Every structure is written in structure tokens, then in C-alpha cells.
């Protein structure tokens, strides 16, 4: 598998590259790179507007990608899929459009483990009206206190916004149950799926969520592409997020009419080449197979956890049963930044800092941590290199 990722042949600081920052951005297989290049070489034109052959080809490829994404997440129809720049923009789209109906005193339920992308957009609504965030607490192992969820609802609750998988703890949240509880109160649910789509099959119909957002670059695809799934009746009701070309029906100096969803939410020229390449990433994932992905990543996680727990003063963050292949840790008396720099000198790429989850860091009583995250192209040798490099870094920092 490694031969499909040429970047893994690189050396970093004189060492073999050990790439363990997959939760931030997964590497891109050759097939995806080729799909991007093929678009620019053979089909490069704008979409939905031209009558010439190249434009028609580009439009067909983009809409084929929409259909492929819909099938990938088992969306009822391609029209339920909106292309964005990433999970962040997808959530901002919902916050901006749905938030226009919010009034002073409304409430949104989030969790203590949310990424900033699922916190800040809701706080920005406060520039127009006062909206309160209510927080589902965590249990000591890093799982959600689901029993506390029901008590957070009241007549002012307008939305539940929850991550499918924590980018710090690896906790896999019971999104189906959360949706069931929320819908029993008549409240829609948005799921941040950025950390889920590369590790497990996602079925938005089975989950029952009203919105689901994810990014291509987390699932071996290009950067700058994201997806917002939304139930069609909600997309039809939401006002546009941005204005410009492509999303309009008719424009005069007095008024504008808008296209039907999803085009109403795709103002301007989209990131066509990278959208067209997204199906190649989906094909790669499915060719590896979900069972193989799960077994490989869990074996790597288990070995890394066992190895790192032998490092004096090291504490693993997040031990929820069934967690995904994310391993975050702190070492007493050291900074995560210093550890990350020393690991990089040994060719090991990890993520350090607060991971865009400062409220979670505060809840854990830390300012930041080191995070190693695993993918199917990682190997036992990668894990052993991580453990050895961490041991050396810890010794140097004592």
C-alpha cells in the first residue's frame, strides 16, 4: 500500500518519514493526484454555464461526483449534497442560514469535545442575537454523559450540534441515539463527521441526522473540498449562504431569485478539479475495505498505547471503549510543543497543541497535548518508531 503514496518515500531530517498526523490531513494516493491532473489536462472548463464541449464535460464530472458522494453516505438523492470548502464552511453555512431564524434566548446543545468549527460559528450568531450554548458533559474515560442529554432540552432548544468522532480523544459518539433523543423533542441535529468518514461507513439515512458535514482531505482526498448533507426539505427552506454567480435564477436591480438546492448554496466557481477527484478517494477507501481499515488501525492503536504507556510520566487522554485510531497524550513536566519538535527531528510527524479544542483542553486541565493518529498505510514499524522517539524525547526533556 505504501507505494501508492509517493510522499512516504521522503526523508525528514535524515530519517524515514513516519506520518502520524492523519487526523489533521490524510495523505493522498496516486490515483487521486492523477484524477486532479487528468481534469486539468483534458476537461478544464467552468461548470453549469457553458454550451461548449469542455464545459459540458466538466459539468458532467462534477455532478457525477455529487452522485458518488450521495451513494457513499447513503443520502436519499444527490440534491441533498452541497459542495463546500470543508467541514468548517459546511457548518458555517448551516449556522448562517439556519441562524437567521434564531431569536434572543434560543439555545444550541453541543458537547464538551467539539472542535472550534462546531463552536465558533454558533457563537458568531451572538452578533445578531443572544444564543446560549448548553454543553453535554464528559465522563472520566472521555465518552459523553448521554444520560445528561435529555435534561438539556427545553422549549428554547433549536439545534443539537455534535461531533461524530472526537479529534482529540478518538471517542465515537452514539449519534443515532443522540438523533433519536433530539427528534423526540422536535429538534434537528447537525453531525460533524470530519473525523468519521475515513474510518467507518457513514449512513446518514440510518443515523437520521438532519445535517452531516465532512472534508475530503481527511479521507485521502484533495484539500479545499467539503460536503454538507442536509435533508432536502431543510435545504429547500434555508436562505442562501452567499450571493453571486451560479446560485441565481434571475437578477434585476430590484430583486433576485435563486436556484433550487443544492446550487443555491454554491455561489461562484467551485473547486471543480478537486471535487471531480473526490470519487477517486472514495474508490480508494472502498478498495481497501472498511473491515481492513478497522482491523489495521485498531492493531496500530493497541500497540502504540501499550508502548507509550511504558514511558514514565506519560498519560493517555481518552480511553472510551471502541475509540477510533487517535492517541493523544501528555508527559508530566514537558510541553507538547517541545515533544513535537523532538519527534520531528527523528522523522515522526505528529500534531501538538490544543487541536482547535480549547474548551476540551480546559476540561482536561491541560493547555495542549501530543496527538498521533493512524491510517491504513501506517505500519507496526511506524508505531515502534513513535514509541522509541517519544522515549528519547522524554529523556531529553527531563
Per residue in 155-175, pLDDT (tens digit) is 999 999 999 999 999 999 999
Q: DSSP code of 144?
A: B
Q: 150 by DSSP, 3-state: which?
A: helix
> Hey, what's the cell of 249?
435564477
Q: Which CATH class is domain 32-285?
A: alpha beta
Output the average pLDDT for the chain.
96
Instruction: Tell me the mean pLDDT in the region 313-339.
Output: 96
pLDDT confidence band for 252 (50 / 70 / 90)? confident
Q: DSSP code of 334?
A: -
> Hey, what's the cell of 67?
452522485
The two beta strands, 226-230 and 211-215, are antiparallel
Helix orientation angle between 272-288 and 290-308, rounded to the nearest 10 degrees: 80
Instruction: Tell me the mean pLDDT in the region 3-27.
Output: 96
Secondary structure element (H or E) that encloses residue 78, with its range: none
* Of 306, 359, 19, the residue nearest 166 (C-alpha): 359
pLDDT confidence band for 50 (50 / 70 / 90)? confident
Question: Rounded CA gap, 65 and 320, in Å?
Answer: 35
Q: Is the pLDDT of residue 398 over 80?
A: no
User: Is the model's pTM score more than 0.75?
Assistant: yes
Q: DSSP code of 326?
A: E
Helix H segments across the chain? Answer: 30-42, 53-72, 87-98, 120-124, 175-184, 204-207, 232-237, 272-288, 290-308, 336-345, 358-364, 380-397
Question: Rounded CA gap, 193 and 54, in Å?
Answer: 34
Question: Rounded CA gap, 112 and 318, in Å?
Answer: 13
Model pLDDT, residue 260? 84
CATH of segment(s) 2-26+289-397: 3.90.1150.10
Omega before 108 cis (within 30°)? Answer: no
Model pLDDT, residue 115? 98
Catalytic positions: 356
Residue identified by cell 434560543 is 106
Question: Rounded CA gap, 203 and 187, in Å?
Answer: 20
CA–centroid distance for 70 within its chain: 17
Q: Quote the percentage of the chain above a pLDDT of 70.
A: 100
Instruction: Tell me the mean pLDDT in the region 303-327.
Output: 96
Secondary structure element (H or E) that encloses residue 311, with its range: none
Please report, for the chain, the start and end positions of each structural domain, with discontinuous segments joined by +: 2-26+289-397, 32-285
Q: Is the pLDDT of residue 269 over 90?
A: yes
Model pLDDT, residue 261? 84
Amino acid at each position: 500500500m505504501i507505494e501508492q503514496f509517493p510522499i512516504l518515500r521522503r526523508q525528514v531530517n535524515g530519517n524515514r518519514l513516519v506520518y502520524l498526523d492523519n487526523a489533521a490531513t490524510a495523505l493522498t494516493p496516486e490515483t487521486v493526484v492523477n484524477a486532479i491532473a487528468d481534469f486539468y489536462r483534458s476537461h478544464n472548463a467552468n461548470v453549469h454555464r457553458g454550451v461548449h464541449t469542455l464545459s459540458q464535460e466538466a459539468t458532467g464530472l462534477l455532478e457525477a461526483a455529487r452522485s458518488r458522494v450521495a451513494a457513499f453516505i447513503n443520502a436519499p438523492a444527490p440534491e441533498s449534497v452541497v459542495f463546500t470548502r470543508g467541514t468548517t464552511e459546511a457548518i458555517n453555512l448551516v449556522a448562517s442560514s439556519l441562524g437567521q431564524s434564531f431569536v434572543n434566548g434560543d439555545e444550541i446543545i453541543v458537547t464538551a469535545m467539539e472542535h472550534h468549527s462546531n463552536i465558533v460559528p454558533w457563537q458568531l450568531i451572538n452578533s445578531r442575537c443572544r444564543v446560549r450554548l448548553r454543553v453535554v458533559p464528559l465522563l472520566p474515560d472521555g465518552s459523553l454523559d448521554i444520560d445528561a442529554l435529555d435534561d438539556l432540552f427545553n422549549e428554547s432548544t433549536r439545534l443539537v450540534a455534535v461531533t461524530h468522532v472526537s479529534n482529540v480523544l478518538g471517542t465515537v459518539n452514539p449519534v443515532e441515539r443522540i438523533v433519536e433523543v433530539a427528534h423526540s423533542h422536535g429538534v434537528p441535529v447537525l453531525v460533524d463527521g470530519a473525523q468519521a468518514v475515513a474510518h467507518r461507513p457513514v449512513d446518514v439515512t440510518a443515523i437520521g441526522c438532519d445535517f452531516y458535514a465532512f472534508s475530503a482531505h481527511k479521507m485521502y482526498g484533495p484539500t479545499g473540498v467539503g460536503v454538507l448533507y442536509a435533508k432536502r426539505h431543510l435545504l429547500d427552506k434555508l436562505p442562501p449562504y452567499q450571493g453571486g454567480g451560479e446560485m441565481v435564477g434571475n437578477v434585476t436591480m430590484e430583486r433576485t431569485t435563486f436556484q433550487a438546492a443544492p446550487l443555491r448554496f454554491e455561489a461562484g466557481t467551485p473547486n471543480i478539479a478537486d471535487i471531480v477527484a473526490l470519487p477517486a478517494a472514495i474508490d480508494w477507501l472502498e478498495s481497501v475495505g472498511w473491515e481492513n481499515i478497522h482491523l489495521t488501525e485498531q492493531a496500530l492503536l493497541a500497540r502504540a498505547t501499550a508502548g507509550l504507556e511504558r514511558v514514565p510520566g506519560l498519560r493517555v487522554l481518552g480511553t472510551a471503549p471502541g475509540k477510533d485510531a487517535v492517541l493523544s497524550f501528555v508527559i508530566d513536566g514537558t510541553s507538547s510543543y517541545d515533544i513535537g519538535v523532538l519527534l520531528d527531528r527523528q522523522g515522526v510527524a505528529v500534531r501538538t497543541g490544543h487541536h482547535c479544542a480549547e474548551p476540551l483542553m480546559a476540561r482536561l486541565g491541560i493547555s495542549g497535548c501530543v496527538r498521533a493518529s493512524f491510517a491504513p498505510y501506517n505500519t507496526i514499524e511506524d508505531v515502534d518508531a513513535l514509541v522509541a522517539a517519544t522515549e528519547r524525547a522524554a529523556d531529553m526533556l527531563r
